[in-house]
Amino acid sequence: MAGQEQQQPQAREVDEDVPEAPPAAPEAQASAATQGVDDLLDEIDGVLESNAEEFVRAFVQKGGQ
Amino acid sequence: MTARPDGAATEALPAGGAMRVMGSETEYGIHAPSAPTANATMMSARIIQAYAQVTRQRAAGGAETRWDYTDEEPLHDARGWTLERSAADPSQLTDQPPVLDAEAVALAYGRQELEADGADETGTLLMNMVLGNGARLYVDHAHPEYSSPEVTNPRDAVIWDAAGDLVALATVRKVAADRDLPPINLYKNNTDNKSVSYGSHENYLMPRSVPFGDIIRGLTPFFVTRQVICGAGRVGLGQDSSQHGYQISQRADFFEAEVGLETTIRRPIINTRDEPHATADKYRRLHVIIGDANLSQASNFLKFGTTATVLSLIEAGQAPHIEIHEPVAALQSVSHDISLTSTIRLLDGRRVSALDIQWMYYEAAAKLAQESGVADSISGDGHTHTVLERWEATLSMLGSDLNSAASSVEWLAKLSLLDGYRQRDGLGWGDARLGLVDLQWADIRPEKGLYYRLLARGRMDRIVDDAQIARAVTEPPRDTRAFFRGRCVTNFGKDVVGASWDSVIFDVPGIGKLQRVPTREPLRGTEELTGPLFARHRDAGSFLAELLGLKSPPPPA
């Protein structure tokens, strides 16, 4: 059966481009973090269902516990 | 030979820490985008059917593994009484099989739909399976539900809960591969944001000798505040999301009472359903309905680990003495305070933050663990140390820099993604795209689920290996009765006609009547106790003959 993706790197590798000690200027940290978030959002843009409004509206559940 | 799974218990888990018999229940949100009006119960049955096809698991006669309802007692209240059936909401009557046979379906939906829906040869839709890993997969109301096998520690709770998400994934793939059926999506969340909620429950075994009043007093402040470490996050405020905003918990706005028997209406912070699924005079099964379903392994680990530890505090009489003024309102105000700065009023007049209360529990738990020795890194129980360490680290992060917890605490991980969209695209909390991010966070497909996208990018902490989760899809835990149940299904599936948490029922050719094997001691039926028995027998007849001490094994069929 299909499993989770297992070939992905573990945590921390992704953050390697964040400057380490001594602490960088706050602006530099912020721009590196922003770059990471931008890359992530670009990826998520390609994954999100199209027509958000209709998709969210149609998700109607019957009651549960 | 003491292989019987129901003999007197000699085993006990180390007391005072995070080890105890526990399990999880996940009701998945279910949706077919191309057939939005499809009936939810029918779709849920298709999901169960799909898993039967995936596993080729069919019990005798082509029918499902029936659930044995003998010991289901949903109307027994832990406070000492039983609700009259006539006074119960129909959704509370969970001790009767759901009726969805061919006739009922035909009446409701027409015969053509029935034929298109793939009811099996006997005309009955599959509503229940007992899995080889010891779990139960079934249709609960209008959702497919995976109830994990019993485990003994929070790490295994994470593993076998996540295995349920892989079971769900396998069903979604199977349905998607059938071109005659609309694809079905499953979501590990707890609300549709249109006033409906569905549950993620936890179960913890406790000695019956602990007074229920102590449990209520000891747990309520903990349950009001534990969402800061294990909330899954939700876009929208109020049951119907009529107010825009973000909150910590999926479930908080759906709770309306402090204590009660119900799980589908007037939901209580402390649920009193008294169905031990075990030797009733020794144990109670604490049924916890207030949690969010977690994808984050760190949040899920802390949810089970800290709750099990707090129950140990209550058993030892060492829970902090905290009484919250109006706990239901406090539960919601904590959930709505995403800066973690507001305070809760206590009955003694003090005002404390949710984090303050969590620290009080942490300190009491650390003290008890120190006294009992269970948290020792060498001679301890192997779990409590990790729980306390993570709990302390998480509370420290939440008290200093919320962003630092975004790779572990689920509501903060989701919030970091939402904030990214808000900043990049200037979206307000009422924007449908943020609602979609919230919903799709919980899609259980790794290519579509946003939690899984973050996990793949290394932005979410892993506590367990993917390989351990994958193995738990088919392998039962070794150290509880789930081992016996799971192995019976795997090895003798065609002769198992029914099962429940505390029984397995065989119909073996050559033995005249059904054989019900009780499994009322959760720490028996383990691999250690029953593994050799399974190894010695290839057929159910000789297995049962040795297990039950029958005079002579029946001849092979």
Compute the average pLDDT of residues B1-18: 69
Residue range B418-442, pLDDT digits in tens:
999 999 999 999 999 999 999 999 9
**Closest partner CB to A14 (pick from B421, B432, B459):** B459
Compute the average pLDDT of residues B97-126: 47
Cα separations (Å) of B424 from A34, A37, A38, B269, B420?
10, 9, 8, 38, 6
Q: Which of B146, B457, B474, B475 to mutate to test the interface with A (most CBs of A within 10 A)?
A: B457
Say if the Cβ atoms of A11 and B460 lie within 8 Å: yes
B419 is an active site residue: no
> Catalytic pick from B117, B140, B165, B253?
B140
Compute the average pLDDT of residues B90-113: 54
Look up the CATH architecture of domain B22-94+126-471: 2-Layer Sandwich (3.30)
Percent of chain B with pLDDT over 90: 77
Q: Which two tokens stand for residue A25?
A: 């200027």
Say if the Cβ atoms of A9 and B417 lie within 8 Å: no
Residue range B269-293, pLDDT digits in tens:
999 988 889 888 899 999 999 999 9
Say if the Cβ atoms of B54 and A65 lie within 8 Å: no
Compute the average pLDDT of residues A31-41: 78
Contacts of A48 in chain B (CB under 8 A): 433, 436-437, 440
pTM score of the predicted model: 0.88
Residue range B288-322, pLDDT digits in tens:
999 999 999 999 999 999 999 999 999 999 999 99
DSSP-derived secondary structure for B460-526: S--SS-HHHHHHTTTPPPSSSTHHHHHHHHHHHGGGEEEEETTEEEE--TTSSS-EEEE---TTSS-
With a CB cutoff of 8 Å and minimum separation 6, the contacts of A40 are B417, B420, B453, B454, B457, B459
Question: Which stretch of A23-27, B38-42, B86-90, B209-213 has the lowest confidence by average pLDDT?
Answer: A23-27
Note the ipTM here: 0.88
Domain borders along chain B are 22-94+126-471
Cα separations (Å) of B273 from B77, B229, B289, B520?
5, 26, 10, 18
Compute the average pLDDT of residues B469-490: 97
Q: Is the pLDDT of residue B245 over 60?
A: yes
Contacts of B440 in chain A (CB under 8 A): 47-49
**Closest partner CB to B458 (pick from A13, A56, A61):** A13
Helices marked H in B83-194:
102-109, 111-116, 154-176
Shortest Cα distance from B160 to chain A (angstroms)?
A: 14
Q: Is the pLDDT of residue A18 over 50?
A: no
Cα separations (Å) of B245 from A41, B177, B235, B337, B430?
21, 38, 6, 10, 7
Residue B308, CB half-sphere, CA atoms under 13 Å: how many? 34
In the structure, what pLDDT confidence band is assigned to residue A30 with cuts at 50, 70 and 90? low
Shortest Cα distance from A24 to chain B (angstroms)?
A: 17
Contacts of A62 in chain B (CB under 8 A): 40-41, 141-143, 196
Residue A19: is it exposed, middle or buried by C-beta count within 10 angstroms (0-12/13-18/19+)?
exposed
Write down the pLDDT at residue B147: 98
Write down the pLDDT at residue A12: 40
Q: Are B154 and B383 in contact (CB under 8 A)?
A: yes
Contacts of B433 in chain A (CB under 8 A): 48, 52
Compute the average pLDDT of residues B192-213: 95
CA dihedral B179, B182, B183, B185 (to 10 degrees): -170
Shortest Cα distance from B435 to chain A (angstroms)?
A: 7
Distance CA B418, CA B404 (A): 16
Say if the Cβ atoms of B455 and A4 lie within 8 Å: yes
Distance CA B299, CA B282 (A): 31
Say if the Cβ atoms of B440 and A49 lie within 8 Å: yes
Contacts of B432 in chain A (CB under 8 A): 52-53, 56-57
Compute the average pLDDT of residues B392-401: 98
Say if the Cβ atoms of A41 and B462 lie within 8 Å: no
Say if the Cβ atoms of B31 and A58 lie within 8 Å: yes
